[in-house]
Amino acid sequence: MTAFVPALRNLTVSAVALLAVAAAASPAQAKPEPKAPEEFVALRDVDPTIIQEMRYTTPHNFVGEPIDGYKKPMCILTEPAAKALHKAQRSLLRKGYSLKVYDCYRPQRAVDHFVRWAEDLGDERMKKEFYPHVDKSRLFADGYIAEKSGHSRGSTLDLTIVRLPALPTRPYIPGEPLKPCFGPRGERFPDNSVDMGTGFDCFDTLSHTDDPRIKGAQRAHRDLLRNALAKQGFVNLPEEWWHFTYKPEPFPDSYFDFPVARRSLQGR
């Protein structure tokens, strides 16, 4: 009996140790990331000529840091939206212009990141550029931030037009002095796009597509973008000259959360 007790004790200790190892190992076995439905494609595979400047993979956005879920600087869209965009691109290329996308499919986790940021009223590091005239406490009420986004359905995107040949846009340097997004072209952060009257993601009424203060070349550029896309089935959001949704949407009631990455399109 005395020989049996130590043996039992050793067996018990070993079992506890194995359970501890198993418990420690379980967090490392991360849940696999969701995959995109087969209806989603990489825009570059459909039209490699469209310029891509994916802002949310960088700190140059209204939050001031890379956004959750953007693993790679690539545009992912539903296939019908991508093919329609390709047709719009062909028409613009004949006129000496190219489309440039800022954002396409947006995972729900990115939208959640925006919501957390909007609720943190103390974080205003990018206010001077993106929302100088808007009190951050008003972002939800004024419709600039919401808990759901059409981007997460895969057929909505943000884009502009670039005159060819396209010159490079210099990179944003975190901490550099910020300038209002609605200022004159020469005073805003430089962008190789044509002058649309404001920068991308400018939280201001001047960003409304048909704002009467937008005239001349700025008006012509907005109309050129809207008309080229409308012919292919895209509908503009009146409050944002850069925001368009392809209709009819393949997933009108679905909000996806797979990361923006090539691997999201593989093994489906």
Residues forming the active site: 240
Distance separating alpha carbons of residues 155 and 81, to the nearest angstrom? 6
Q: Where are the alpha helices (DSSP H) in 94-190?
A: 108-119, 127-130
Tokens 């490699």 correspond to 48
Within 6-81, strands assigned E span: 40-42, 51-52, 76-78
Within the chain, strands assigned E span: 40-42, 51-52, 76-78, 97-103, 156-163, 234-236, 243-246
Does residue 202 contact residue 127 with C-beta atoms inside 8 Å? no
Both structure tokens of 32: 């696999």
Which whole-number Å values give the CA distances from 165 to 44, 90, 155, 217, in the listed order? 19, 15, 28, 19
Does residue 125 contact residue 57 with C-beta atoms inside 8 Å? no
Which residues lie across from 234 on neighbouring strands?
A: 246
